[in-house]
Amino acid sequence: MHLYRTHNCNELTKSDINKNVRLSGWVHHRRDHGGVLFIDLRDQYGITQIVFHPENNEMLDIASHISYESVITVTGNVVERSEETVNSKLATGEIELFVSELNIESSAKTTPFQVAESDVVNEDLRLRYRFIDLRREKMRKNIIFRAEVITTIREFMEGNGFHEFQTPILANSSPEGARDYLVPSRIHPGKFYALPQAPQQYKQLLMISGFDRYYQIAPCFRDEDARADRSPGEFYQLDIEMAFVTQEEVFAIVDELMKLVVKKHGKHKLVFEDFPQITFHDAMNKYGTDKPDMRFDLFLQDLTDELSGSECQIFSQGKKPGVAIKAINYPGGAEAPRSFFDGLQTWAKQNGLKGLAYIVFEEGIAKGPIVKFLSENDLTAIKEKTGAKDGDVVFFAVAKWKAACHGLGALRYVLAERMELRDPNVMAFCWVVDFPMYEKEDHSGNIVFSHNPFSMPQGGMKALEEQDPLDIVAYQYDICCNGVELSSGAIRNHQPEIMYKAFEIGGYDRKEVDEHFGHMIRAFEYGAPPHGGIAPGVDRLVMLLADEPSIREVIAFPKNSKAQDLLVGAPSSVMPEQLAELNIRIVD
């Protein structure tokens, strides 16, 4: 007989009755009836009830004092349960194990929280004792679910001619983008590796090397602050790159993959079989965000033309260049209590707006603090454009275009929450396309890259030379789902001259480009295929599929929001000898 087990804890059925078997697992729960003792024995697979009887009083006594979460090995006969004692909740509920031999492999101290209870435990504590937390059914399911999703992804990619390559973890620092994690070099004092923010350069180099379709479940490292859907420090993305492709071909692969994953693993209905495409500009104007939640129709309207001529001071600011008047209709909003509208004023200030004007339409007339400043024409225009009816409320944001859009985009979610429009049972994927190549930096007024500088501008060199930089859009796209950005991607710029020009507009002269990106440009000078790709976030995708509110629920050992690993104690101080070897001195 195997030293530890002949079966797992989810395996034994009626057909095993009278067999002498051995099980190992954790003491999940214990029910001591004095004369008879039941223990639920648990492993990754499930639970089997094992029974101790007074025939062996010594063993019964020992068993009755085994602490929860201890690991034991038991040997005995599989016994049929009488009809009234069958537990239909367990796969093994028709049998139980009559224990004849007990071995305690590892006795557990009292655990800081209970594995068998479903209480939501303080997350700090859960992370500190993650190895116990992961024993809980929900976490075990999530982590295995994640593994299964990744298996599906790998099978799909391989089946479509992609190969998985590993790219370096010790890479180079780059001045663009997120903060790097730096790794000091021992052999080269004063120099540093950087952990890759993404394998971006390497996957492009693979294309130039002649590999046609690359993918990798790739670890990425960014030293930026956390969000509920963004792990600090590190995360995994499905990194994809393809040679000789158009944007549409990248979309086609990702569409198919997402649909496969949702249908196979999700319990959600897909809102769109064909994922809609929306331009960045339209997404901002209609949804107030570049990652629109398309599960519900509640759209922003632009009233800049209609209202900037108004007598009302709030609206006449719309005449200023760059300022937009955006509006959103809240159907049935007239019912909302006064406190809701008052609370929104503070809310608006926290969301980048000076305030939030609104008009209540009730009993055929318009009401609210600003109505007395509005003409009949103004009101007609508002009603026409927003479709506001009796009982509705229209909110207005007057600010720089981006701020006005973002403000009402955030309000759109507040309203959707009140109206319960965000259906948790569906997934609405969409593509956001035509991201601008450049934007004007707020504080400096400089033209800077708004996304990846290596993306191909639409129109190529001609566009760079002839168009207003702020009007140039790139072959740069995002795939979003339910208001979450799953991934950014782009058709890359593979032509050195266009690259120099693009960088020139972005404020880098030739020398700087050569200094920072010379290795990439050199590579492009020896025969580079047109190529493009994308990199959906694996953690986020699994989070959405598993219906979890936080990314940490689908990561085995996540960092907390301060980027610490409380279990192993990272980051930590290191020995002075280590620092000395690296030529590093800590300055207070």
Residue 137 C-beta: closest distance to RNA, Å: 12
**Contacting RNA within 49-68 (CB under 7 A):** 49, 51, 53-54, 64-65, 67-68
**DSSP notation for 233-263:** EEEEEEEEEEES--HHHHHHHHHHHHHHHHH
Residue 147 is inside which H or E element, if any?
Answer: helix 137-159
Exposed/middle/buried for 536, CB within 10 Å: 0-12, 13-18, 19+? buried
Q: Least distance (Å) from RNA to the CB of residue 530?
A: 18
Which residues contact residue 237 at a Cβ distance below 8 angstroms, ignoring those fewer than 6 apart? 198, 217, 218, 220, 487, 535, 536, 537, 538
Q: Which is nearer to RNA, 337 or 549 (CB)?
A: 549
Q: Does 225 bind RNA (CB under 7 A)?
A: yes
Q: Which of 124, 376, 577, 588 binds RNA (CB under 7 A)?
A: 124
We find the least distance from the C-beta atom of residue 371 to RNA, in angstroms, to be 30
CB of 349 to RNA, least distance (A): 9
Site for RNA in 88-117 (CB under 7 A): 89-90, 93, 96, 110-114, 117
Cα angle: 29, vertex 124, 552; to 5 degrees: 90
Measured from the CB of residue 2, what is the shortest distance to RNA in angstroms?
Answer: 25
For residues 219 and 332, which CB has a smaller minimum distance to RNA in the complex? 219
Q: Does 450 bind RNA (CB under 7 A)?
A: yes
Least gap, CB of 457 to RNA (angstroms): 13
Binding mask 230-269 for RNA (x = CB under 7 A): x---------------------------------------
CB 561 within 8 A of CB 226: yes
Query: Considering the complex, what minimum distance in angstroms separates the CB of residue 84 from RNA?
Result: 6
133 binds RNA (CB under 7 A): no
Task: Tell me how far apart the alpha carbons of residues 56 and 59 are, in angstroms, rounded to a whole number.
Answer: 6
Binding flag, residue 478, RNA (CB under 7 A): no
Alpha-carbon gap, residue 470 to 487, rounded angstroms: 23
In the complex with RNA, the residue whose CB is nearer, 108 or 323, is 108
**Of residues 7-36, those binding RNA (CB under 7 A):** 29, 31-36
- As measured in angstroms, the least distance from the Cβ of 346 to RNA is 9
- The alpha-helical segments, DSSP class H, found in 266-308 are 280-287, 304-307
* Token pair listed for 391: 């009982």
Q: Rule CB under 7 A: say whether 222 interacts with RNA.
A: yes
Q: How far is the CB of 525 from RNA (least distance, A)?
A: 20
Q: How far apart are the first and last CA of the chain?
A: 62
Residue 292 touches RNA, criterion: CB under 7 A = no
| Ramachandran bin of 258, using left for φ above 0, alpha for ψ from -120 to 50, beta for the remaining angles | alpha
- Within 536-575, the residues that bind RNA by CB under 7 A are 550, 552, 560-562, 564
Binding-site residue total for RNA (CB under 7 A)? 72
3-state secondary structure of 487: strand
534 binds RNA (CB under 7 A): no
- Part of the chain binding RNA (CB under 7 A), chosen from 334-342, 375-383, 384-392, 449-457: 449-457
Identity of the residue, 360 or 566, whose beta carbon is nearer to RNA in the bound complex: 566
Smallest distance, Å, CB 293 to RNA?
13
Binder of RNA out of 163, 191, 227, 389 (CB under 7 A): 227
Instruction: For the segment 331-370, give every residue that binds RNA (CB under 7 A).
Output: 350, 352
Could you say which DSSP state residue 519 is in?
A: H
219 binds RNA (CB under 7 A): no
> Which 3 state secondary structure label does DSSP give 120?
coil
Question: Is the separation of the CB atoms in 200 and 241 below 8 Å?
Answer: no
Segment 377 to 436, residues that bind RNA, using CB under 7 A: none
Binding to RNA (CB under 7 A): which residues in 190-209? 197-198, 200
Alpha helices in 439-537 (DSSP H): 460-466, 496-505, 510-524
Which of 17, 62, 86, 381 binds RNA (CB under 7 A)? It is: 86
Cβ atoms within 10 Å, residue 186: 12
Residue type, 397: A
Q: Which stretch binds RNA (CB under 7 A): 1-9, 47-55, 187-195, 315-323?
A: 47-55
Per CB under 7 A, the list member of 62, 91, 104, 121 interacting with RNA is 121
Q: Say what angle helices 401-419 and 338-350 make with each other, to 10 degrees.
A: 140
User: For residues 179 and 389, which CB has a smaller minimum distance to RNA in the complex?
Assistant: 179
Of positions 120, 187, 586, 587, contacts RNA by CB under 7 A = 120
Residues 167-186 that bind RNA (CB under 7 A): 174, 176-179
Render the burial of 76-109: b for 16+ CB within 10 Å, e for the rest.
Answer: bbbeebeeeeeeeebbbbbbbbbbeebebeeebe
3-state SS class at 30: strand
Asked if 454 touches RNA (CB under 7 A), the answer is: yes
Q: Looking at beta carbons only, is 230 or 354 nearer to RNA?
A: 230
* 491, 246 Cβ separation under 8 angstroms: yes
Chain centroid offset of residue 398 CA: 31
